[in-house]
């Protein structure tokens, strides 16, 4: 599975946005276990933004960061004590824009299972893993329906390890499933089964823009 993922992501050309806005980068860490998992964090409850939400490790680009990959690895080291040298970069996914107007670049990396990862209590409440099979088998809890410019987008929401994985993280997952594993999930068609949860159009900036440029 992981060798196929490696080859597919190396061949993938992600869409990039060239926009004048703050930049950030995140790492989607795949843990190299017999049953591979994806690592997530839960933001600390005392934070002013995104408190208690599930996210991938990452954060805003600092002026001294030479590139966005450096940002993703630096933030991962600061947040969960992940040594950058223990990350095998598998590829890059398309840029997305967060609700707060930040341009986010996702990277996918493979990490060994024996790392003593520790959440930074100033930023995180927890680190947890979810088996990739949950996403590959599309075992979503429900679907968030988000109108964007008059068109409905159907974004999976997953419940795992007592946590809710949705929104921007779920959008990144959708591309990882399609490009990395050949398991496309339609964001423009209503799923045949399952509960729908409707959101107001104010969340449109969490979705992929149609003006991506390679």
Q: What tens digit of pLDDT does each residue of 177-190 get?
A: 999 999 999 999 99
Distance CA 145, CA 156 (A): 9
pLDDT of 102 strictly over 70:
yes
> Each residue of 2-45: pLDDT tens digit?
999 999 999 999 989 888 899 999 999 999 999 999 999 999 87
Give residue 213's pLDDT. 39
Q: Band of the pLDDT at 195, cuts 50, 70, 90? A: very high
**Whether the Cβ atoms of residue 43 and residue 50 lie closer than 8 Å to each other:** yes
Neighbours of 201 (CB within 10 A): 10
Residues in Cβ contact with 172 at an 8 Å cutoff, skipping those fewer than 6 apart: 26, 28, 56, 93, 96, 106
Q: What is the mean pLDDT of residues 206-210?
A: 43
Angle (CA) 22 122 102, round 5°: 15
Backbone torsion region of residue 194, taken as left when φ is above 0, otherwise alpha when ψ lies between -120 and 50, otherwise beta: left
Give residue 202's pLDDT. 54
Give residue 150's pLDDT. 79
Q: What is the mean pLDDT of residues 86-106?
A: 93
Q: Match 């600092």 to its residue by tokens.
A: 62
DSSP H or E segment with residue 171: helix 167-175
Q: Band of the pLDDT at 80, cuts 50, 70, 90? A: very high
Instruction: Choose the weakest-confidence range: 19-23, 168-172, 198-202.
Output: 198-202
pLDDT of 207 strictly over 50:
no
Q: Band of the pLDDT at 206, cuts 50, 70, 90? A: very low
Distance CA 148, CA 206 (A): 10
Q: What is the mean pLDDT of residues 84-108?
A: 94
Find residue 144's DSSP bridge partners. Answer: 155, 197
Looking at the domain that runs over 2-206, which CATH code has it been given? 3.90.79.10
Q: What is the mean pLDDT of residues 124-152?
A: 92
Question: Which is nearest to 110 in space by CA: 44, 58, 38?
Answer: 38
Q: Of residues 210 and 139, which shows the higher confidence score?
A: 139
**Measured between alpha carbons, how far is residue 12 from residues 7, 155, 170, 179, 214 in Å?**
9, 22, 19, 7, 11
- Average pLDDT value over all residues in the chain: 90
> Each residue of 48-61: pLDDT tens digit?
566 678 999 999 99
Domain boundaries, the chain: 2-206
């Amino acid at each position: 599975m992981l060798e196929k993922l490696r080859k597919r992501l190396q061949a993938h050309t992600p869409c990039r946005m060239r926009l004048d806005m703050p930049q950030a980068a995140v790492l989607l860490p795949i843990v190299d276990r017999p049953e591979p998992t994806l690592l997530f964090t839960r933001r600390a409850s005392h934070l002013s933004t995104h408190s208690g939400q599930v996210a991938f490790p990452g954060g805003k680009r600092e002026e001294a960061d030479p590139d966005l990959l450096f940002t993703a690895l630096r933030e991962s080291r600061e947040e969960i004590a992940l040594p950058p040298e223990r990350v095998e970069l598998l590829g890059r996914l398309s840029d997305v824009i967060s609700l707060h107007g930040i341009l986010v670049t996702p990277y996918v990396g493979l990490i060994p299972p024996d790392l003593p990862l520790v959440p930074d209590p100033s930023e995180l409440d927890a680190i947890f893993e979810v088996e990739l099979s949950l996403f590959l088998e599309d075992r979503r809890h429900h679907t968030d329906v988000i109108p964007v410019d008059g068109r409905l987008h159907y974004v999976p929401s997953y419940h795992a390890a007592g946590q809710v994985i949705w929104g921007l993280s779920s959008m990144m997952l959708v591309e990882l499933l399609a490009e990395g594993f050949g398991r496309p999930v339609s964001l423009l068609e209503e799923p045949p089964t399952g509960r729908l949860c409707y959101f107001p159009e104010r969340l449109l900036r969490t979705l992929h823009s149609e003006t991506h440029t390679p």
